[in-house]
Amino acid sequence: MQEAKRLRSLPPYLFARIEKKIEEKKAQGVDIISLGIGDPDRPTPEHIIDKLVEQAHNPENHRYPTSVGMLEYRRAVADWYKKRFNVDLDPAEEIVTLIGSKEGIGHISFCYVDPGDINLVPDPGYPVYGIGTLLAGGEPYYMPLKEENGFLPDLDAIPEEVADRAKIMFINYPNNPTGALADVDFFNKVVAFAKKHDIIVCHDAAYSEIAFDGYQPPSFLEAEGAKDVGIEFNSLSKPFNMTGWRIGWAAGNRKVIEALGRIKSNLDSGVFQAIQYAGIAGLTGPQDAVKEMQQVYKERRDAVINGLNSMGWQLEPPKATFYVWAPVPKGYTSSEFAELVLEKAGVIITPGIGYGENGEGYFRIALTVEKERIEEALQRMKDAIGKVEF
């Protein structure tokens, strides 16, 4: 049962060691607080669930959906883009429904990457960009995201011959794991770079609605000429607490959208229509739940920042995403520090190395547990570790 090269090419699972430790601790009866995985903890808003229940009773929805999604759902996405970003999209040809944006991010490389081709992949970053590249037989070229550059890739540092061989550039702002932001000016530079080197830009906007302090993240499609070179992924997962429902979309360049739809029509049969109706309810319905969640995450964020800063960190509160990205104290690798925090405080944080080589030296805290538990976690860390130095 020799596995295919493409499966064997995947990097080893970096959290295996820490997961073993977690199991051991749990077996000992330790009360573990996990600030590890970024998965919204609150329920999906009631009106979205009601729509699913209503539509689940309709036998028309029990049949195969179309793989690119109902036109009505894609219209709701187009209307949302117009309202939220003042971006015009043709729902029939510039939007495709996805089984969560992860599905599209994983499949896009199958549309454009031949063995030996390069994709430009952010490091640290959401692992699926590189994994999709490898599964398609391509080679990820990792663009380091450095703190001194505001965790934006330095486009000028990408060697000419690499850029000329590259098929896709993945970017993601507001950024997981760093919480960094990009403005339209940066997106304009990406468009120019992509035009020069004939690269398809795939912007992952999963956190466009998780923002605070009055900040409104822009869409990549607001950049001049963005639709000539790329697409944007987004999803209902994060703004509407719907990670389990599996519904998202890609929007932008019609050729790229058509190619992604063609791959999908050969591999899957789209999203259960009742879920698409629920998605429409989310996008077109009242948005108070989104505002409430922003307030909830903001309070949790402040609890983490205050807690860490009282121990010696000097962090600015991130303006978007539900993550805090912080440097590891002197004398530890990110894995060693995560193990120490688990061992001494029973708190799970994610070592930055799990997101790529350039994540070393940092750790990530997810704000997806209640504030009381976050406060308890930070107090435990303070009691166990005390003041830190860098």
Ligand X SMILES: *Cc1c(COP(=O)(O)O)cnc(C)c1O
The residue ranges that bind ligand X (CB under 6 A) are 100-102, 126, 172, 176, 204, 206, 235, 237-238, 243, 248
Q: What is the nearest approach in angstroms of ligand X to the Cβ of residue 59? A: 28
Q: Which is nearer to ligand X, 135 or 163 (CB)?
A: 135
Structure tokens at 225: 């000429």
How far from each other are the two terminal CA atoms of the chain, in whole angstroms?
48
Q: Which is nearer to ligand X, 40 or 346 (CB)?
A: 40
Q: What is the nearest approach in angstroms of ligand X to the Cβ of residue 145? A: 13
Q: Which is nearer to ligand X, 126 or 193 (CB)?
A: 126
Q: What is the nearest approach in angstroms of ligand X to the Cβ of residue 97? A: 11
Q: Which is nearer to ligand X, 100 or 179 (CB)?
A: 100
The per-residue DSSP string of 244-274 comes to TT--EEEEE-HHHHHHHHHHHHHH-----HH
Alpha helices of the chain — where are they, by DSSP H?
5-8, 16-27, 46-56, 71-85, 101-112, 128-135, 160-165, 184-197, 226-229, 254-267, 273-284, 288-310, 334-345, 371-385
Phi, psi torsion values for 309, nearest 5 degrees: -65, -30
Q: What is the nearest approach in angstroms of ligand X to the Cβ of residue 126? A: 4
Structure tokens at 179: 């919480």
Assess contact for 95 and 143: CB atoms under 8 A: no
d(CA 177, CA 363): 9
Q: What is the nearest approach in angstroms of ligand X to the Cβ of residue 314? A: 26
Assess contact for 33 and 381: CB atoms under 8 A: no
Q: Which residue has the tokens 């307030």?
A: 295
Q: Which is nearer to ligand X, 37 or 92 (CB)?
A: 37
Q: Which residue has the tokens 């919480």?
A: 179
What is the arrangement of strands in the sheet containing 362-366, beginning at the earlier edge strand?
Answer: 323-327, 362-366, 350-351
Q: What is the nearest approach in angstroms of ligand X to the Cβ of residue 206? A: 4
Q: Which is nearer to ligand X, 244 or 286 (CB)?
A: 244
Q: What is the nearest approach in angstroms of ligand X to the Cβ of residue 241? A: 11
Q: Which is nearer to ligand X, 235 or 253 (CB)?
A: 235
